[in-house]
Amino acid sequence: MATDALLVVNAGSSSVKFQIFGLLEHEDPPRLIKGQVDGIGTRPRLRAETRDGSPLIDRSFAPDEIANVPAAIAVASDWLRETQSVELVAVGHRVVHGGPDYDRPVVVDQDVLARLERYSVLAPLHQPNNLAPIQSFISRRPELVQVACFDTAFHRTHSAVADRYAIPEHFYREGVRRYGFHGLSYEYIAGRLRDVAPSIATERVIVAHLGSGASMCALAGGTSVESTMGFTALDGLPMGTRPGQIDPGVLLYMISQEGMTPAAVENLLYRESGLKGLSGISNDMRELEASDAPGAALAIDYFVYRVGLNAGLLAAALGGLDAFVFTAGVGENSIRIRARVAKKLAWLGAIFDAAANETGKSLISRPEGKVGLYVVPTDEELMIARHTFSLLRGRPRG
């Protein structure tokens, strides 16, 4: 007998990550399966494992068998149904940009999908790929409830001042505003702090989501009041291939003096900058940390410097600081980056505990410090499953 389940999808340009969650009426949806299809269109490969890490499948395909994201969704869905006795009743999707229309997760229909497609120009690396699986399921399984969970929604609590750019008001009314991203991660961390560190969960906290995409968020009482990202996912911290903060005059110079087209500038900003552009080596922090090349050292120095600068900005927005949280790939796994960033926070009152950091403790600061330093793994997929389950419960079952 097939088990009713939720599918959580996080789709990129060449990969689709998915997780299967069970349905329990009064508890968190339990994670059952974790998998991904990567190498789409070049060397497609489907891998999946159980929640305890036991492998379920590791299969390669010809490029034309999985040539695009919809084909990847179809292959993964068929495998789940045929081999895992899973009957999907709903699908939750990470959608990077909700624009001004959506401040919470929403059940998707064609009208909602059409609205979300308008924001593809604001997140060209993410939005089209996030929406492709939704359209695929509408075509193949129209009876499924689909829920879009937005990376921008958590930041819609920002004040009018924090939300604006200093440009004419009509642009704001048209949707040109500071949205912020990685909201699903920050929402999870804000809730998780109530268990991990209840004494600071309602205080002034900076969360640093440090990964290939990187940003920081200021939480006051568990609510987002400021973020380093703005209108698009380009602003703030340097990232794997994105520059972070840059003077708009540089972009005008590229167009007017270098003769670059808008498409060329977009490609530079989204794919050729950040750690990759600075180092000339890689966009992967692990490779840069392992390298002796001067470019790698420069890229790491720049990354740490900018995290420190933005910590000061967010602490000012909060009127002080009680705790700083590291999360995401680099934040959770790089002992060296955490140590270097922690030293940048000493002026705020943080006293770093090197031994706790090196042994994988959750608290990596000394008790006599004024600012607690924490490492808290994020779980965006569980956040999506929770939202999907919540909306599913509010709908009649067929």
Choose among 21, 74, 73: nearest CA to 50.
21
Identify residue 245 by its one-letter amino acid code.
Q
Exactly one of 78, 101, 111, 151 is catalytic; name it: 151
Q: Which residues contact 66 (CB under 8 A, 6 or more apart)?
A: 37, 40, 41, 44, 46, 72, 75
Contact by Cβ (8 Å): 251, 267: no
Task: Phi first, then psi: give them for residue 144, nearest 5 degrees.
Answer: -70, 140
Are 210 and 326 a contacting pair, CB within 8 Å?
Answer: yes
Strand 3-11 vs strand 86-95: parallel, antiparallel, or unpaired?
A: parallel
Return d(Cα 275, Cα 302) in angstroms, integer. 9
Respond yes or no: is residue 151 known to be catalytic: yes
CA distance 191 to 327: 14
Measured in residues, the chain has a length of: 398
Helices and strands per DSSP (H, E), number in the chain: 15, 13
In whole angstroms, what is the distance from residue 311 CA to residue 247 CA? 20
CA neighbor of 45 nearest in space, from 57, 33, 53, 37: 37
- Dihedral sign from CA coordinates of 340, 341, 342, 345: positive
Active centre residues (catalytic) = 151
